[in-house]
Structure 1
Amino acid sequence: MQNPIFIGSEIYRHSTYGSKHPLAIPRVSTVMDLCRALGWINSENYRVSPRAKPGALHRFHTPDYIDALQAAERAQSVSDDVRSTYALGTLSNPVFPEMYRRPAIAAGGSMLGAELIRDGGIVYNPAGGTHHGLPHRANGFCYLNDPVLAILTLLRMGLDRIVYVDIDAHHCDGVEAAFQGLETVRMISIHEARRWPFTGKLDDDAGGAAFNLPVSRNLNDDEFGAILDQLILPAAEAFKPQALVLQCGADAVAEDPLSRLALSNNSHWKAVAALKGLAPRVLVLGGGGYNPWSVGRLWTGVWATLNDLDIPEVLEADAQAILDALTWNRAAGRNPPIHWLRTLRDAPNHGPIRPELKEDLRRLTARISQ
């Protein structure tokens, strides 16, 4: 089997949703820079992400929506009718110079990733994971839905057992809606309860296709370990997946401003390590994450985990310089803790497994063998 492939693009270095948007921060470019500084990506394992053509996007998104998205990028403005119809030009999905090209490149990367694992392998596209996008409108910072497009690419190859695991702090409403009731895709989503988009309730099985586990605030690493061992791994293994897609959103860590979960990045890396061997084809995507240091460090560690690389306890000076150069307009960014600047690994956040989580796991695991 070939070595894992990293998919990236320089567009993420020069593109932003706007200075006041949560996605004003650099994310993928930081991961690329850290991985290069650590000697972990090179010309052999790096691919430049292509821009998806409209025809490929039409496999999920409606032609009128794609036309509206392209027109909004050209005009750099939208009418009231376009805003209300397609949710473009909103606070969540604003008009910005690369509002079509950037998500189309992310989607192109995820579809390329699916194609690259046709005969087996592992591909990492940290720019992917935009799991809220709907066929006919933008939704939740997501103009397109690259996980859906990647899964559709795998289905077009003739695969009929695909597992999608989502550990973002926000529920994958767009992916669930796309594959509602489909027997060929099994979705497993762990997300914060009572958090936008307020979908993915415990008893919502998406017509039998999904395992949804909404979790309480302050989820700790030991609780996530129980979820991984008792739900995620058994539910994935029982499906005997030919391919596994993992959305590895970084907003479930303690320092993220858009959730109230309390994981360390060790939980994400543990999930990646456990899941990467469950299927012959594995595609790992990014997702949420709104603290530039925690996202960059977490997603860099994902790449190390996919390659069985040792994560250094203390970074060399050139890698530290990349983290030192980051800025963030939130209060936490004005005086970042030293571990954000000197190391990739967080201190583990141990804690008790709460009784309500044990009961929810019991209810969901009872469904696995059904």
Structure 2
Amino acid sequence: MANESAFIYSDQLLKYRFSDDHPFNQTRVKLTFDLLKSLDLLDDSDIIPPRIATDEELALVHDPRFIEAVKLAGEGKLSEEVGQSYGIGTEDTPIFPGMHEASALLVGATLSAVDHVMSGKSKHALNLGGGLHHGFRGKASGFCVYNDSAVAIRYMQKKYNVRVLYVDTDAHHGDGVQWTFYDDPDVCTLSIHETGRYLFPGTGNVTERGSGKGYGYSFNVPLDAFTEDESWLHAYTTAFTEVAEFFKPDVIFTQNGVDSHYYDPLTHLSATMKIYREIPKLAHKLAHQYCDGRWIAVGGGGYDIWRVVPRAWSLIWLEMIEKSEIEGPLPIDWINKWQPSAKLALPAFWDDQPTIYPPIPRKSEIEEKNALTVTKTLYPIRNK
């Protein structure tokens, strides 16, 4: 094994871009890449260029008619009426030139990560360009055209015959992945997210447990708005640990949206960089405990691209290469390079100051409510 971990990257991944002012901005992937390069902790030998997913691979999850519609949209040949029926050309998912090619490359990048791990070339692989968990079989949704995570899981099932534990820590519920495998007992989904009472997509209730043979293999922990680090980490650590013990996967696949941070403009949680230090640590530990280290990680949400995403996503890679104890100031050359482009003052340090937000008045009430939610979520496996 040449490298324990693989980093899937090319500047071509930045072509998935709806518009200059759309909140989903893949410049964040480049910012993270440059931060790791500034640290001298991402070697050229670690970097694997992505490939484009084939139509046959996309059709493992997506309706061929939807794939054709995405192609036509990217060529400017899709009518508005047909586009709307496929979720294309909406405010969330507007049409852009080359839409199919850019979207299929994100999927192919995740498939590259899968093949690198499942063929034994590395233990871990990271594709920060992926994590588009809202895509459905025949519809784009929530900034997501094709669902790279769902395609990758179905691809792993077909090619490698493995049981997959999918863990989603995006503030938005991982609906597209959950519904794809809702009746499949060989894929276990766990999503820890802000309650859908306040936030898109409005799903992810504790009662969504799967159907048919898949009943009991879908787990959701909807957290109350304004949840802080300690309560968030209690939910994550408890649920991930117990679900992994219950399911005993062959491979762990994590979606690493970083929009639970207090600074994120689209959500209402109050986490800090503290949770982004711990999220990859537990994934890494459990991958070695149950899966001989097999861990595939993708990106996801994260809309404060300057202050939050680069630090949080860098910590996934640094955990993979066992350098995650990094602390103190960020590289000054990275700050100097990107500050002129940034719309906000870039952070100077890896960790947040404890005073980034005022005290939450309902702290104890929120913690109690979240703890009860975790108990309800895990009730079926605790009472077998």
Q: Give the alignment's TM-score, normalised by structure 1.
A: 0.92
> Structure 2: which amino acid aligns with 1:206?
G
State the partner residue of 1:98. 98
Asked if the contact 1:159/1:242 (under 8 Å) is kept, the reply is no
The residue number in structure 2 matching 1:221 is 229
Runs of 5+ consecutive residues of structure 2 not aligned to the other structure: none
Please tell me whether residue 232 in structure 1 is matched to residue 246 in structure 2.
no
* 1:316 maps to 2:331: yes
Q: Select between 130-139 and 316-325 the one with higher mean Cα deviation.
A: 316-325
Matches within 5 A, 1:140-219: 140-193=142-195, 194=197, 195-207=199-211, 208-219=216-227
Q: Is the partner of 1:133 in helix, strand or coil?
A: coil
Please report how far the alpha carbon of residue 322 of structure 1 lies from its aligned counterpart in structure 2 after TM superposition: 3.8
Q: Specify the alignment match of 1:304 in structure 2.
A: 318
- Asked if the contact 1:213–1:360 (Cα under 8 Å) also holds between the matched residues in 2, the reply is yes
Q: Percent identical across equivalent pairs? A: 28
Give the whole-Å Cα distance in 1 for the aligned partners of 2:326 and 2:332.
15
Q: Which moved more, 1:91-100 or 1:316-325?
A: 316-325
Single out whichever of 78-87 and 106-115 deviates more from structure 2. 78-87
Pick from 239, 244, 257 the counterpart of residue 265 of structure 2: 257
Q: Distance in 2 between matches of 1:72 and 1:199?
A: 28
For 1:182-239, what per-residue CA distance to the aligned partner results, in whole angstroms no more than 9, with x for missing partners?
1101111011112111111111112222111111111111012211232121112321
Amino acid at match of 1:342: A
Amino acid at match of 2:18: Y
Match of 1:327 among 342, 345, 352: 342
CA distance in 1, matches of 2:242, 2:353: 27
Show the counterpart of 2:369: 356
Hey, what's the Cα distance between the residues in 1 that align with 2:114 and 2:78?
Answer: 33
Q: Distance in 2 between matches of 1:55 and 1:273?
A: 35
Q: Are the counterparts in 1 of residues 165 and 187 from structure 2 also a CA contact under 8 Å?
A: yes
Query: Any conservation in 1 of the 2:135–2:145 contact (CA below 8 Å)?
Result: yes
Secondary structure at 2:191 match in 1:
strand
Q: CA deviation at 1:260?
A: 0.4
Q: Given residue 276 of structure 1, which amino acid in structure 2 is its aligned partner?
A: H
1:59-118 C-alpha deviation (Å, 9 max, x unpaired): 11111111111111122x631232222111111111112322222111001111111111
Q: Measure, in 1, the Cα distance between the counterparts of 2:304 and 2:98.
A: 22
Q: How does 1:50-89 map to 2 (within 5 A)?
A: 50-75=51-76, 78-89=78-89
Deviation at 1:302, TM superposition (A): 1.6
| Aligned AA (1:151) | I
More divergent stretch after superposition (23-32 vs 187-196) = 23-32
Distance in 2 of aligned mates of 1:130 and 1:80: 23
User: Given that residues 13 and 106 in structure 2 are in contact (C-alpha distance below 8 angstroms), is that contact kept between their aligned partners in structure 1?
Assistant: no
1:276 paired residue number: 284
Deviation at 1:14, TM superposition (A): 5.3
Contact 1:78–1:88, Cα closer than 8 Å, also in 2: no
Q: Secondary structure at the match of 2:114?
A: helix
What is the aligned residue count?
Answer: 360
Residues 227-268 of structure 1 deviation map (CA, whole Å, 9 limit, x = unaligned): 123212111232111100000101111100110011112212
Q: CA deviation at 1:270?
A: 0.5
Deviations 1:251-310 (A, max 9, x none): 111100110011112212202111113233110110001111211221112211221114
Residue 29 of structure 2 contacts residue 310 of structure 2 at CA under 8 Å; is this kept in 1?
Answer: yes
**Per the alignment, in what secondary structure is the counterpart of residue 235 of structure 2?**
helix
State the distance in 1 between where 2:332 and 2:222 align. 40
Hey, what does 1:342 align to over in structure 2?
Answer: 348
**Distance verdict in 2 for CA 1:348–1:149, change over 3 Å:** farther
Secondary structure in 2 matching 1:190: strand
Instruction: Give the whole-Å Cα distance in 1 for the aligned partners of 2:376 and 2:16.
Output: 44
CA distance in 2, matches of 1:155, 1:347: 43
Q: Taking structure 2 as the reference length, what is the TM-score of the superposition?
A: 0.89
Unaligned runs of 5+ in 1: none
Matched residue, 1:295: 309
Separation in 1, partners of 2:354, 2:236: 16
